[in-house]
Structure 1
Amino acid sequence: MSKIGNDHLTETRDHLINEIDSLSESQLNWKSNLESWSIAQVCHHLVLVEESTIKAIAWGVKAGEPTQSERKKVEQHILDRTKKIIAPKIVEPDTKLFEMQQIKDLLNDSRIKLHSLLSTVEDKSMLAKKSVKHPALGELRLDQWIEQIYLHEQRHIEQIKEIRSLYEELTEAFSSDHIQ
């Protein structure tokens, strides 16, 4: 993995942690409606996606001959939040309530697993030569599977900001209604 890719993974994860770090448990687990995800669920989804990505990369590295698939414009596809992407069942978050430390531990553990896997890849250039089918993006080179982790996190950081903002608006409106 390139230093740039590693920098993006680190910067994006730091940004994510900064976004959630000051949240109360009720902010972390609040949902605007029954169909929406809480911030904790968004974070759990990110963990599940990273763990699925680790499995895909591990499988792709072990697979036989290099495959040549075209590089996809993953950034355009993932960061465009006007297009809703339905999460496959395997990466749907748990419906239970989460504690902040639990979320941070899950995020940390999945990142350690990713770095551990990538440290076992002797020929990093192979990551650009082999591909595995991605559920939303189709055939995707392994290095782009890594890229989609931080892009996917960036997408959901924006969602977290929206959930947080809505929570703050509603609690402020509720507080001002009860003060009058």
Structure 2
Amino acid sequence: MKINDQAREELWTQVGDLTDEDINRKPSDNEWSIKQVLEHLYLMESGVIKTIQAQLTSGEQKDVADKPIELTVNRSTKVQAPEFATPTEESATLEELKAKLNATHSTLREFAESTSDAQLEEKSYPHPVFGEMNLKQWIPFIGYHELRHIDQIKEVKQKLGL
């Protein structure tokens, strides 16, 4: 959870002084607003937690080598957001999004602390870029994924003059 906690701290630093109007503005029609990035992070974290939990109970055992998930932060490789994690066009407040992100982060922490590494290492789930990943790696992947989108938030802020 170390990378997850570091990423979340950095996320709050990047968005802490923004207004609801700021986060809902898009730099262009084909780019996400900061609100959409935050919503994507909440949807992704929530979806990955549900997937890990489901695989843990019903997935088959597989021995899968660790993947270089730290490469997730490299934004030169474009990845289409999965349907379950695609944000809406609807407006939201920063407080609403913070509450959702805090809730999913707490759920992830509780899950990580109550599940052994051995349990997580014996089952896996495919990632669209890295292929089959053991469930243990999915937890820090969420943190690296968040770091990737923090860079996106910085770009959006710059484009919006924030």
TM-score of the alignment, normalized to the shorter chain, above 0.5: yes
* Contact 1:66 1:126 (C-alpha < 8 Å) held by counterparts: no
Structure 1 gap segments, 5+ residues each: 1-5, 170-180
Shift in Å, 1:86? 0.7
| Equivalent position of 2:68 in the other structure | 73
For residues 57 and 161 of structure 1, what CA distance do their matches in structure 2 show? 30
Residue 50 of structure 1 aligns to which amino acid in structure 2? Answer: E
1:32-111 maps to which residues of 2 (within 5 A)? 32-63=27-58, 65-76=60-71, 78-111=72-105
Structure 2 gap segments, 5+ residues each: none
| Equivalent position of 2:145 in the other structure | 152
1:133 alignment partner, SS class:
strand
* Contact 2:24 2:34 (C-alpha < 8 Å) held by counterparts: yes
Q: Deviations over 1:59-82 (max 9, x none)?
A: 221135531012111212x12111
Identity %: 31
* Contact 2:59 2:123 (C-alpha < 8 Å) held by counterparts: no
User: 2:131 matched to 1:138?
Assistant: yes
Aligned residues: 162
| Equivalent position of 1:14 in the other structure | 9
Shift in Å, 1:134? 2.2
Greater relative contact order structure (CA < 8 Å, 6+ sep): 2
* Contact 2:123 2:134 (C-alpha < 8 Å) held by counterparts: yes
TM-score of the superposed pair, with normalisation by structure 2: 0.93
CA RMSD of aligned residues (A): 1.5
Larger Rg: 1
2:87 alignment partner, SS class:
coil
1:36 alignment partner, SS class:
coil
Residue 44 of structure 2 aligns to which amino acid in structure 1? Answer: V
